[in-house]
Structure 1
Amino acid sequence: MSGRAVRVRPLRPEEVPAAVDVVARGMRDNPLHVAAYGRDEHRRLARHSHLVAGLFGASADLLLTGAFRDEVLVGVCGAAPPGTCRLGAAERLRMLPALARLGPAAAARVLSWTRAWYRHDPGSPHVHLGPVAVDARLQGQGIGTALLAHQCRRLDDAGATGYLETDKPRNVTFYRRSGYEVAGRTTVLGVPNWFMVRAARG
């Protein structure tokens, strides 16, 4: 698929299950996911699939965008509009079955991880980017760049501030190329995490 055109568009409801699979495969080996889910790659894949499916089902305001090559979904980007990135009480209840499927120890680690991220959320209005994932076998082919360019155009059209978290040092460089800057850093489950902001433009 390398070199073929990438088309980016909003996902349709019937494409969400495929999006869950892409995100799970694309993020299976992220350092934070290894720390949260364990070293068995098959278990990590299953556990992150449960969590992402729960998140997508619970977050009514999350905007999902897909990157396609030859009509095959190869990348996914979520974006929570201002004021919607923290789950409300009803949404947290809808997440409980997904957390239960992780097992008690992994669920506790995920909750510790999300609490640490919540503490770094900006107090001012922002569009919260994530998850951002490219299918594992296709990373490094410009798909993530196309997804991020699409999201940055949306931010600029809206005059909105962007915000995201990452646990991968190389992603810090990737996001900086699109105008994101490091606003904070902490360690979560023993893994370095960076919090990045892209100032509103226009």
Structure 2
Amino acid sequence: MIIRPATAADVDAAVTTLSMAFADYPFTRHTIAADDHAGRLARSQRLFLTRIGLPHGRVWVSDHAEAVAAWTTPDAADLGRVFADVAPELAELAGDRAEIAAESEAALAPFRPTGPAWFLGTVGVRPGNQGRGLGRAVIQPGLDAAEADGVQAYLETSTERNVELYRKLGFEVVGEVELPRGGPKTWAMRRGC
């Protein structure tokens, strides 16, 4: 299996993979409107990849982008400004769930690292390829880079099954949050420092 840095040419396949992987994901079901949910989800993944992951972070893919992992990195200049710039688009994609999405982000904020960290913003494997080690393989380069930088790696997951996968990668749960307005339980997890 080949794992390599993604390029702009991988975006369409990566969006397809992430959209399939997140189709029924509890967090996105709670924070992105139900009307045209699949379209909104795909556009939000494309936004993250093209405006944040590729230009200001690192993205790795497997062959044919059947697995994708996108990270923000501590050396990204003005990442706060970048997120502020895309916030209106993210709110539009959230639709009638925009207020809930904002409340969910606020509920998770206390667990996020305040110092330098690699943040695993999105990761997914096409459903037919899950369970073959592809997820671990596309995540590993980010973990190696965080370790080499001497900083934490951080992620959030709303699926208990994923908690065990991430524990096997060295992450520890630092917070469990019941998201507002009947949202799913979400685990904040850190690895390193």
TM-score, with length taken from structure 1? 0.82
Corresponding residue of 2:38: 45
Report the Cα distance in structure 2 between the residues aligned to 1:184 and 1:9, rounded to whole angstroms: 32
**Contact 2:66–2:129 under 8 Å retained in 1:** yes
**Greater helix share, 1 or 2?**
2
Measured against aligned partners, the alpha-carbon deviations of 1:118-154 in whole angstroms (never above 9, x if no partner) come to 3321123211112011112221221112122333222
Corresponding residue of 2:177: 186
Map 1:69-84 onto structure 2 (within 5 A): 72-82=64-74, 84=76
Report the Cα distance in structure 1 between the residues aligned to 2:82 and 2:68, rounded to whole angstroms: 25
The runs of 5 or more residues in structure 2 that have no matched partner are none
**Contact 1:20–1:49 under 8 Å retained in 2:** yes
Corresponding residue of 1:199: 192
Runs of 4+ aligned structure 1 residues displaced above 4 Å come to 83-87
**Contact 1:50–1:98 under 8 Å retained in 2:** no
- Note closer, same or farther for the CA distance 1:107–1:12 as it changes in structure 2 (3 Å cut): same
Give aligned pairs, total.
189
> How large is the Cα RMSD of the aligned pairs?
2.3
TM-score, with length taken from structure 2? 0.85
Identity fraction in percent: 24
2:23 pairs, out of 16, 23, 28, with: 28
Report the Cα distance in structure 2 between the residues aligned to 1:85 and 1:122, rounded to whole angstroms: 17
Measured against aligned partners, the alpha-carbon deviations of 1:7-53 in whole angstroms (never above 9, x if no partner) come to 1110011212221221111111111122223667xx33211112122
Map 1:101-180 onto structure 2 (within 5 A): 101-103=93-95, 105-180=96-171
Residue 56 (1) aligns with residue 44 (2): no
Report the Cα distance in structure 2 between the residues aligned to 1:156 and 1:136, rounded to whole angstroms: 29
The runs of 5 or more residues in structure 1 that have no matched partner are 1-5
